[in-house]
Amino acid sequence: MKIFSWNVNGIRAVFRNGFRNWLKKTDPDIVCLQEIKADSSELSEEYKEIDGYWVYFNSAEKKGYSGTAVYTKFKPQSVEMEIDMKQFDKEGRCLKLNFKDFTLFNFYIPHSGRAKENLDYKLSVYKKLLGILEPFAKKQTLLAGDFNIAHTEQDLYFPKQNTNNVMFTPEERRQIESLINLGYTDTFRHKYPDKKSYTWWPYRNNLRERDIGWRIDYIFVSKPLLPSVKDAFTRKEIRGSDHCPYGISLNKKLTGEKGSVYKKRLAQALF
């Protein structure tokens, strides 16, 4: 099974830049998208009817802001979109897919704001999520998404210069540590303990071309799933967003009802 996570910074933009071709060529079982910036009810069939995939959206109430989506080859048994946190839920920042053999969370964690004006909100989100995720750590669980935190000095190009900057403050880094202490494993760091590989680069000064970036996108797995992790990989060469796709492969099969454009069996209740 192959799973990708990708902050697309606008689903329309990434579709214009060849998302469907990438999906066909890469052939993942599941793709988790963040920051879709679209009301799914206003999206055309181009975004909703891709042969072989079911699609689920959680759009923000605010137009052109936040939001998450999941494309999956097999239909989950159920889908949830709220964590009982008003602002977070209004911003469409979570999709929870319950499959027969495992649970998948797709998160778009809030940014702290350039002046740390949203840091308290971000930390409150993590506090809420840690409580929710604790019992799932003993089950087969994956956490995918943009966590908006670089965990260690290996996870950004200039760690010393960013010690007190957003996404690398001690308070934020402790949230990733808390996830790990619950029993979740950073799949990339598990496979590549010493490798520097980034998933996000600011749009300036050719930083992507120079590979001066941050690793803030993750897929975590619980201990019961850890033995199934075969590989982990970033795809810096895939354009369309200021983030690149991050993926893992598992020695595990995805099962359920297969998706098909011909059935037109979309999750209308979620639109």
Give me the catalytic one of 51, 84, 89, 146: 146
Q: Can you state the angle between helices 170-182 and 119-133, rounded to 10 degrees?
A: 10
**Whose CA is closest to 104, among 129, 70, 73, 152?**
70
Look up tokens 């033995």; give the residue: 227
> Which two structure tokens, joined as six digits, stand for 154?
């290996």
User: For the purposes of burial, counting CB atoms within 10 Å of the CB of 178, is it exposed (0-12), middle (13-18) or buried (19 or more)?
Assistant: middle
Active site residue 146: yes
Residue type, 21: N
Q: How far apart are the first and last CA of the chain?
A: 27
Q: If you ran DSSP here, which 8-state letter would residue 82 be given?
A: -
List residues with catalytic annotation.
146
